[in-house]
Structure formats: structure tokens, C-alpha cells
Amino acid sequence: MQLDDVLHTFIAEARELLEQMEESLLRIEQSPDDPDLIAAIFRAAHTIKGSAGLFGLDRMVSFTHVAESVLDKVRNRELRIESELAALFLGVCDHLGVLIDHVAENREPDADTHKAGEGLVSKLSVHLGQLPQADAKTHAPVEHTASVEHAASAEVGGADTDNWHISLRFDRGMLRLGMDPLAFIRYLTTFGEIRHIVTLTEAAPSLPDLNPEECYLGFEISYHTEADKATIEGAFEFVRNDATIRILPPHSKISEYLRLIEGMPEEELRLGEILVRCGTLTQAELDDTLRRQAAGGEAPKPIGEVLVEEHIVLPRVVEAALDKQKQVREHKAAENSLIRVNAEKLDEHINLVGELIITSASTALFAQRANMPDLTEAAARLSRLVEEVRDSALTLRMVQIGATFNKFQRVVRDVSAEIGKDIHLEISGAETELDKTVVEKIGDPLTHLVRNSMDHGIEPAEVRLAHGKPIHGTIRLNAYHDSGSIVIEVADDGGGLNKERILKKAIERELVKPDQPLSDQEIHNLIFEAGFSTAEQVNNLSGRGVGMDVVRRNITALRGSMEIDSAEGVGTTMRIRLPLTLAIIDGFLVGVGGSSFVIPLEMVVECVELTAEQTRAAHGRNHLDLRGEVLPFIRLKDLFEIPEPPLPVIDPEDDGFMAGISALPGSAQNSVILTAEGAAALAADPDLAFILHPVKRENVVVVQYAGHRAGLVVENLMGEYQTVIRPLGQVFNGLQGIAGFTILGNGLVTLILDVPGLVKRIARNEDRLNAKTAYLLTA
């Protein structure tokens, strides 16, 4: 069997439904009587069963059917979902997930799966068995439950047959409505087998009295199927109002057949015989039935029997039909508002938008050169539109992180049960959006971090009590946007990282030298080293093959970074920082020497002029006093060893030059924010133009990443520039400080700066310097 598109849709939908079901189950533990949640769980199970039936996935249908029967009782307030039942249904979810995986992989479930399924079914059946009258309503067409129910119903006088019994009496006007009873019977044969059929022709008059356009036929059918009652009822959906339809499940009580016999217009004995002929009843059973009938209803009536009385059965049929219609409608509505698109098509679309951006940039450039106002204006409009197209194209790929977060409800629940700690999960920022590919890849690292926090972070209850903390631990998942990145935090209110222990271990493993000065941050980061694990940290939970080093590698592969905040006794926060988008950025174009670079605009905080005064004040160290704060900076010219352009250059360290600059009134000392426009304005002013012209000026672009600020010293600020990141080839893999390249409108290639890398580098230098100073001072 080839997997076709429809089956794929089914699999995708079923998985979604299972997710919803799981989510509802986790929430229902808090509010067990919420009718919406109960309805949601029931609907998920019901829809999965229905769709599975369409694909002939009998095992899934029969399994789900049992679960649905129990849920039906929950819905009818006969059962309450307590934690035990919720756990059982979570198991059901898992099992269904396994079954769906099997379908997706197109292979038969193995013996273990069967065993697991049967185990769950028998547990579910216990809940079904609690209230005996449920037997009459819910007859699962499953072998294992059938035996249970059979045993139960035999006590109250069930018939021996495995077959359903269907009685059909059509209204006279049926044929005129274009309905052919034969068609319905034929339809029945598509999902079951008609064991016996008796056509009732008595109602048909002789030829002269016959109205050829009226229907006189009736049928008694003994029918064998794995499908459930709703499916059989569904077969007659169109004639519900134009026919009398009675469907008796296998092993129905004798009294129900009696009721059937009484309810039909035919002579009782005749119908009784028909039932025998159909094989639905044995002669003995019929005799018993008729005897009971003769006894005039003295036989005790079980509650289930009452339900079958016509005025109760019919509303049920109607309800089932209405339910189905509503589902169809809901389904339609959902289909209308969502379109499933192949991710590849989306990627292609975004690539094209990328090309469009480059082309529009070059159009703008040429328009400017051509010096035609109309063309310039048109190009500006084009750029703006392209920008909008880009934004909307990118949002197509954006999904909320909430769904990923919610999965952890289950993880936390299971793990806390496993390790015997009472741990709550708090989720915030669930509506934060990020790229779909990132979401897909973040799941595993997050799982590891959460499990890690639960296992190592949160202390045992006694320790918590001793420290005056609430007895239940809390794991917090949080997400937010921060200067062009998305930040995902996994926080716990546990014991925090033990610096001494980490350091000791690191020295043991020769990861650091004993006398090496390290900042707190550096010590914390040691846990990301490959093979790093303190003895206390090894147990079954960590044995998942994903160490912290692997977590970090996964994050780095997404162009992201990780950091740890930890305070002993208070808790640990693991912070993952990921780029919001993977392909297109707003860039800020700067020039150094003869080269130009693009800095991601989202990370640019401000631009400041670097005066010679400040350079001198730094005493050769790369620091700047930015409104009273220390700002470390790095000269791109030095970093990339860019040669001086062949221009007459005045050495900025030259004393005479320095004197000239410091003589300038005001502006230079006051950290002027200098934009490209500002520079242009300066150039236009004859009094000030000399500042720009003969002297090579330096500007500091202040960038921020992960809470660290740093300055990048450049010469020219050329303004905002929309650009597509293109990855560098393998050859440039080792290149530091460069994230990729892009093509400018004029066809020149420009490198994109790796701001996170640069900021980290600057910050690391700072930390090391500080630690060293502190070390030297204390020593």
C-alpha cells in the first residue's frame, strides 16, 4: 500500500488531535469538571476514530472506540477524570501516537505494541464495567472487550450472536425522494458482511393496487462488521427521517429483541421467525423472548433497557447525526482558515523575495545615480513595498513557541513522577513567534535543559524545606524578543550551580589550570565542555545521550548562543538566544578603509563619533567613556588588518592634529550621535567640512548582544541597507567575526559582521582582564 496524500493528511491531523488531547488532559487535572475540556478530549478521540475508520485502520478504530466509550461516560458525568484516569488517558494518547507512527511508516505494529494496547484496553474496560447499564449502550466491536462484555451480558440474558441486527422499514415516499433502499444495503456491504437478509414483501400489494412509485419493502439484516454503531447509523443518515431504523449491537439483551419485535408493524410471531432465520436469535432464545412477552413485562427491567425505548433511542440517533454534521462543519471552517503549504515552496518563495530585495536595492542605487526625481521616487516606493513583502513572507514561516512549550507540561509531569519531586511548570511568552525550522530544532535541546533542571537543579523536598523554600519546585519556560533575537529561558528555583564543585571537576579533567583566573560566567560555561559531568550529576535521567555540550552545539548550529545565570541557593536560568530569522536582515552599511561591512541593524544601538580626545583618554586600551559607562571597542581596521587606502593620511596620534581637534568648539567632546545624514550635513557646511575632509574620522557603532554592549570602530557610516545573508563557503569556515556575505546593489560583495561573535570576543577579553586584575590584586 502506498501512502497517499489523504493518508498523510490524516496522519498530520491525528497527531495534531493527539497534541490537543494531551494538552486538554494535562489541563483537566486542574479543573476536572470543565465541560469544554471534556468535550475537546472526547472530540479528539472521536475524530481520530472516525478518520481511522475511513482508512480501514481497524486496530486503531477498535482501540479508540474503547477509550471513547469511557470518555462518553465522563461526558455524561458518570465518571470523573481524576489523576489516575488522566494518567491512563495519557497512556492512551501515547499508544495512539505509536499506532499513528506505525501507519506513517507503513508497517504493522509489533507484539509489544499489541500488548501495550491490550493492557490499556483492559484498564479502560474496568471503568466501563463499573456501571453495568453501560453494557447496553456501548458495545465495543473488539474481541478482548467483547469477551468481557459477553460474559457480563450473558448474565442478564444476552443473545449469543456476534452479529449486529438491523431492522429497516422504509416510508412509502422514499422512492420518490430518489432514495433506493437497495443502495443502502449495498453500502452496508462496503464495511461489513451481510450474514443473512430477509426481505419483507408482505406490505407490497397486488399489481392493481400497487403504486409503483411507493416503497413497500422492509428488511431484517444480520450483519457482521468491525465498525461501530455510529458508522452503521451513518450509512442511513440520509433516510433517518424517512425510515424506521433499529440497530441492535451484537449480544444485545433478549429484552431488546423483544422490544424490536414489539416495535415493528409485522405480526410478532412472523418477525420472531425472521430473527431466527437471520441467525440473530436461536430458536431457544426466541422461545425465551416470547415467554417473557407472555409474562407481560414482569421480568425485571435493567436500566439499559429503558434507553432502548423508542423515544429515547431516536434522540440518540438524532444526536449522533447532529454531532457528525457539526463536526463536518467545524472541519470545513478550519479548512477554510488554514492552508497547508509545503515548507519547500515557502523556502523557495523566501529565496525569491531575497533576490527581489537585492534587485530593488540596485534599482534604488541606479535611480539615485540617474538623478531623475520621478525614478527615485518610484524606486523608493518599490523598496518600501519589497520591505513589506519581505516582512510578510518571513511571518509565513513564523510560528508561536507555545505549542513547543506545552509539550513540556507532559515532560515535567512524567519526570517529576519518575524522580519523586513535586515540580510545577510555568509558561510565559508562549505567543512569541520564531522561525518554524528553529522551532523544530529547539525541541531536543530544550527537553534536555528542562530534564536537567528538574533532575539537578531542583533540590529534594527536605532540602527545600530546610532552606525555607516552597516544597514544590518550579520550572519556568519563558520566551521573548530581544534586539533581533528570540530568547528562550529555562529557569528553575533550585540550588543553583555549585561553582566550587564545577571548578574542582574542571581542574581534575585539566580543562582549566588551577591558577587560571576565571569569571563566574566562565566557570558556569564549563558545564558546556564535552564530557563534563560531575559525579553527582550522573543518573538515569542524564543518560539520554545528550550532554550539555551537545545542547550547545545544536544551538550554535542555529547561529544561536547560550548563557547561564546562576545564584547558589536561588536557582539557575539557562538562556538560549537565537536569531529571529535565518535568511534576511536589515543591515547597516559601514566603511573601513576601502572595504565595506554590513552590521545587522537590529543589533545596532547607536552611532557615536570617536574623538581623538577619547582615544587618548583610553591610554591605548580600547575603552570609551559613553555617558559615564565604560564601552569596550574594537577597531575593525585592526581586526581585519585592512590596509590604508592610498590617500594622504594624517596620523590621528599626531600631536598637531590632536591640538586642532581639541580646539573645536563643543561637538567633539560631547559624544555626538552621528548618522549618515548628519555626516552629510557636516560635509555640506563649509565651516565644518574640514572635519570630514582632510582628517580621517572614526565612528563607533554601538552594538548590543546578549546584554553586552560593544563598540565597533569604523570610518564611514553609509546607512541602512536591506540584505540577504548568504553563507560563506567551506573554505571560510574558520573565519572569525564574519557571519556571511551579501551582494550590494552596485554588484560589490560585502561581508556581514558576526556581531554576536565580536561582542562575545570583546566581552571575554574584558572578563579575562578583570579577573586577572582581581587575581593579581588579591594575590
Partner 1 sequence: MTKKAVSHCIAIAGDFTIVNAAAVREQLLAAVDSTEDIEVDLSDVTEIDSAGLQLMIAAKRHVADKKKSLRFIGHSAAVLDALDLIDLAAHFGDPVLLHSRA
Closer residue to partner 1 in complex, CB, 171/606: 171
In the beta sheet, which residues pair with residue 219?
168, 199
- Distance of closest approach, residue 234 Cβ to partner 1, in angstroms: 20
Is position 198 an interface residue for partner 1 (rule: CB under 8 A)? yes
The 3-state DSSP class for residue 459 equals coil
Choose the stretch contacting partner 1; rule: CB under 8 A; options: 36-44, 79-87, 214-222, 439-447. Answer: 214-222
Q: Which residue of 52, 148, 215, 502 would you call a contact of partner 1, by CB under 8 A?
A: 215
Decide if residue 182 touches partner 1 (CB under 8 A).
Answer: yes
172 forms part of the interface with partner 1 (CB under 8 A): no
At its nearest, how many Å lie between partner 1 and the CB of residue 183? 8
Cell 588588518, located at residue: 641
**With respect to partner 1, which residue has the nearer C-beta, 201 or 778?**
201
How many other CB atoms are found less than 10 A from the CB of residue 585? 25
Could you write out the DSSP letters of every residue in 332-376?
Answer: HHHHHH-----HHHHHHHHHHHHHHHHHHHHHHHHHHHHT-HHHH
Q: Which amino acid is residue 35, in one-letter code?
A: P
What's at 32, amino acid-wise?
P
> Are 345 and 715 a contacting pair, CB within 8 Å?
no
Distance CA 665, CA 672 (A): 12
For 51, the enclosing helix (H) or strand (E) is helix 35-54
Task: Considering the complex, state which of residue 213 and residue 644 has its C-beta at the smaller distance from partner 1.
Answer: 213
Dihedral angle, C-alpha 148, 154, 159, 163, nearest 10 °: 0
* DSSP calls for 639-662: HTTPPPPSS----TT-HHHHHHHH
- Using rule CB under 8 A, residue 175 touches partner 1: yes
Cβ 168 to partner 1 shortest distance, Å: 11
Task: Provide the minimum distance between the beta carbon of 186 and partner 1 in the complex, in angstroms, as a whole number.
Answer: 6
* Cell (9 digits) for 316: 440518540
Q: Does 617 bind partner 1 (CB under 8 A)?
A: no
Q: Which stretch binds partner 1 (CB under 8 A): 65-73, 210-218, 482-490, 513-521?
A: 210-218
Nearest distance, CB of residue 216 and partner 1, angstroms = 6
Q: Give the nearest distance from C-beta 164 to partner 1 in angstroms.
A: 17
Burial class, 401, CB count within 10 angstroms (exposed 0-12 / middle 13-18 / buried 19+):
buried
Nearer to partner 1 among residue 115 and residue 270 (C-beta): 270
φ, ψ at 342 (rounded to 5°): -60, 130
Taking alpha carbons only, the member of 69, 711, 10 closest to residue 331 is 10
Answer yes or no whether residue 219 interacts with partner 1 by CB under 8 A. yes
Distance CA 132, CA 302 (A): 9
In the complex with partner 1, the residue whose CB is nearer, 212 or 656, is 212
Which part of the chain contacts partner 1 (CB under 8 A), choosing from 124-132, 199-207, 589-597, 704-712?
A: 199-207
Least distance from partner 1 to the Cβ atom of residue 150, Å: 28
Report how many residues bind partner 1 under the rule CB under 8 A: 27
**Near partner 1 by CB under 8 A, which window of 195-203, 340-348, 485-493, 596-604?**
195-203
Q: Which residues of 600-630 are buried (b: 16+ CB within 10 A; e: fewer)?
A: bbbbbebbbbbbbebbeebeeebbbebeeee
End-to-end CA distance of the chain: 76
Indicate the residue among 25 and 188 with the shorter CB distance to partner 1.
188
Q: Helices 283-294 and 268-278, interaxial angle, to 10°?
A: 150
List strands edge to edge, sheet with 243-248.
192-200, 218-225, 164-170, 243-248
Report in angstroms how near the CB of residue 178 gets to partner 1 at its nearest: 8
Which listed range, 202-210, 234-242, 379-387, 702-710, lies at the site for partner 1 (CB under 8 A)? Answer: 202-210
Dist. CA 731–CA 244, nearest whole Å? 79
Binding flag, residue 270, partner 1 (CB under 8 A): no
Q: Are the C-beta atoms of residues 458 and 473 closer than 8 Å to each other?
A: yes
Characterise 163 by phi-psi region: left (phi > 0), alpha (psi -120 to 50), beta (else): beta
Instruction: Give the DSSP per-residue string, 710-729.
Output: EEEEESEEEEEEEEE-BPPP
Shortest distance (Å) from residue 201 CB to partner 1? 5
Q: How far is the CB of 251 from partner 1 (least distance, A)?
A: 24
Q: CB of residue 180 vs partner 1: minimum separation in angstroms?
A: 4
Q: Of the candidates 185, 308, 603, 725, which one interacts with partner 1 according to CB under 8 A?
A: 185
The answer to whether residue 276 forms part of the interface with partner 1 (CB under 8 A) is: no
Q: Least distance in Å: CB of 206 to partner 1?
A: 5
Q: Is 190 in the site for partner 1 (CB under 8 A)?
A: no
Only segment of 177-185, 291-299, 657-665, 681-689 that touches partner 1 (CB under 8 A): 177-185
From the list 32, 19, 43, the residue with the least C-alpha distance to 407 is: 19
Query: Using CB under 8 A as the criterion, what x/- string covers residues 37-56 for binding partner 1?
Result: --------------------
Q: Which of residues 749-768 bind partner 1 (CB under 8 A)?
A: none
Q: 550554535: which residue's cell? A: 556
Instruction: Return phi, psi of residue 319, to 5°.
Output: -60, -45
Q: Which of 55, 216, 238, 657 binds partner 1 (CB under 8 A)?
A: 216
Kindly state whether residue 186 participates in binding partner 1, applying the rule CB under 8 A.
yes
Which range binds partner 1 by CB under 8 A, 101-109, 186-194, 259-267, 434-442? Answer: 186-194
Residue 208 within binding range of partner 1, rule CB under 8 A: yes
CB nearer partner 1, residue 197 or residue 639: 197
Contact window for partner 1 (CB under 8 A) among 98-106, 174-182, 566-574, 739-747: 174-182
| 189 binds partner 1 per the rule CB under 8 A | yes
CB 476 within 8 A of CB 428: yes
245 binds partner 1 per the rule CB under 8 A:
no
Tell how strand 192-200 and strand 218-225 pair up: antiparallel
Q: Which CB, 172 or 772, lies closer to partner 1? A: 172
Query: How far apart are alpha carbons 494 and 663 in whole angstroms?
Result: 58
Residue 199 interacts with partner 1 (CB under 8 A): yes or no:
yes
What's the min distance (Å) between Cβ of 174 and partner 1? 8
685 interacts with partner 1 by CB under 8 A: no
Residue whose CB is less far from partner 1, 275 or 512: 275
Region 389-408 residues binding partner 1, contact defined as CB under 8 A: none
CB of 256 to partner 1, least distance (A): 24
Catalogue the long-range contacts made by 264-267 (C-beta closer than 8 Å, 24 or more residues apart).
264/167, 264/169, 265/169, 266/200, 266/202, 266/218
Q: Which residues contact 276 (CB under 8 A, 6 or more apart)?
A: 282, 283, 286
Q: CB-wise, 77 or 176, nearer to partner 1?
A: 176
3-state secondary structure of 754: coil
Please report, as residue ranges, which positions from 528 to 557 form the binding site for partner 1 (by CB under 8 A). none
Residues at the contact surface with partner 1, assessed by CB under 8 A: 175-176, 180-183, 185-186, 189, 194, 196-199, 201, 204-208, 210, 212-213, 215-217, 219
